[in-house]
Structure 1
Amino acid sequence: MAKKKKPIDEDIIIISKSEQKRDHHELQDLAEVLANFNVNQRSTLPLDEELLAALRLADKIRGKHDAYARNLRFVAKQIATLDVEAIKFGIEKIKNRHTIAAFQSSKIEELRDNLIADASQIEPLLSEHEALERQKLRQLVRNASKEVKAEKPAKSYKELFKYLKDCVTFE
């Protein structure tokens, strides 16, 4: 005689044990990445004080294999209580900071060249970025375009780049 099956409530999501293990291993890998970061890099991430204390302990016991592994499992459990996606985003930002800086630098160079070629682009730029000063920007663009036309050393050209780099941010 077959056993009667109980009706399964459709609101409950059943996660297989192997999927739980995969998720836990992913959190452990994330904990190891965090443990390999230095204190300054960790400070930029959205981590709570208890997790930071556990990571400081991991730094101290790195040479003791079993204790270090146990501590990383604890760190993984702590990470599970936080916003994992925000932490992953912060880690990617740290890992790709050179790529991001190169991208921003090329965008600023392109913006500078466009301003020198066409000074009418100053007004839309000023409306997008309130940190820019109208008079200073116009003066730098005017001087840089004169230098480019006269083929002089690019003093204002470099100053314009530095000013834009300081005031304009790209997301």
Structure 2
Amino acid sequence: MSNNPDETPDHGYDRPSKSQVKRDMLALQDLGRQLVDLSSEKLKQLPLSEKMLDAIKLAQKTTSREGRRRQIHYVGKLMRDADADAIRTQLDIWENGSKQQTLAMHRIESLRDLLLRDDDALTGLLKEYPGADIQHLRTLIREGRKEAQANERLQAGQDPQRKHYRALFQALKALDDTQETE
């Protein structure tokens, strides 16, 4: 054993092991399989080459089990040249939603519930969103409260009304969206 600090303990290998290469290839093949299961609308949003899109569409059309397996294997092979990290990130966002979007939705839901409970909350909202349509918001809040009271009197098994409850959420979401774009 030499005392040279430049030598690595992996006996001079500077490439990944054969097992690691195989694991990476299988991961790309699994990613390709996920892409084959996507709709064409979502596929258009991903950074895929024309060759890759054609291979995925062919795999989607193939009905024979063995033919589909081979085509998916080919898609996995083409994945070597694709930006797999960007694709994985987008798939994760579609599957789980982005954390920022989730937090924004929870914040809007809390704000809606506060507006339906507390009259003073509208004043705070108008300070945060000075360009908001106050009449429209007041109408939605008033109708949402009526809806909530009517839902409390429902018999078991009856479906609650949520029209104004949802409309208030959409109005708050639109306010939030307009503020983000400015």
Paired amino acid for 1:140: H
Distance 1:56 1:158, change over 3 A: closer
Does residue 122 (structure 1) correspond to residue 154 (structure 2)? The answer is no
**Whole-Å Cα distance in 1 between the matches of residues 33 and 17 of structure 2?**
25
Q: What is the aligned-residue RMSD (CA, Å)?
A: 3.6
1:21: Cα distance to partner?
0.4
The structural deviation recorded for 1:30 is 0.8
Residue in 2 that maps onto 1:142: 138
Go from structure 1 to structure 2 and tell me whether the alpha carbon gap of 1:75 and 1:167 turns closer, same or farther (over 3 Å shift): farther
Match of 1:55 in 2: 56
Counterpart position of 2:96: 96
In structure 1, what is the Cα distance between the partners aligned to 2:28 and 2:109?
40
- Point out the more displaced range, 45-54 or 102-111: 102-111
The verdict on how the C-alpha distance between 1:144 and 1:38 changes in structure 2, with shifts beyond 3 A counting, is closer
Q: Could you tell me whether the CA contact under 8 Å between 1:31 and 1:76 is conserved in 2?
A: yes
Q: Residues 104 and 17 from structure 1, CA distance in 2 versus in 1: closer, same or farther, beyond 3 angstroms? A: same
8 Å contact kept, 2:33–2:72 = yes
**TM value normalised by structure 2:** 0.63
- Other-structure match for 1:130: none
Task: Indicate how the Cα distance of structure 1 residues 22 and 103 shifts in structure 2: closer, same or farther if over 3 A, else same.
Answer: same
CA distance in 2, matches of 1:13, 1:167: 55
Contact 2:140-2:168 at 8 Å conserved across structures: yes
- Does residue 71 of the first structure (1) align with residue 71 of the second (2)? yes
Query: Which amino acid letter does the alignment assign opposite residue 113 of structure 2?
Result: D
Paired residues, number:
150
SS state of the match for residue 152, structure 1?
helix
Aligned residue number for residue 108 of structure 1: 108
Structure 2: runs of 5+ lacking an equivalent:
1-5, 149-162
CA contact (8 A) 1:112 1:160 kept: yes
Pair 1:52–1:100, CA change in 2 (3 A): farther
Does 2:173 align with 1:165? yes
Aligned twin of 2:85 = 85
**Which residue of structure 2 lines up, in the alignment, with residue 3 of structure 1?**
none
**Percentage of pairs with the same residue:** 29
Decide whether the 8 Å contact of 1:45 with 1:91 is kept in 2: no
Residue 165 of structure 1 aligns with an amino acid whose one-letter code is: K
Q: Give distance in 2, aligned partners of 1:62 and 1:23.
A: 27
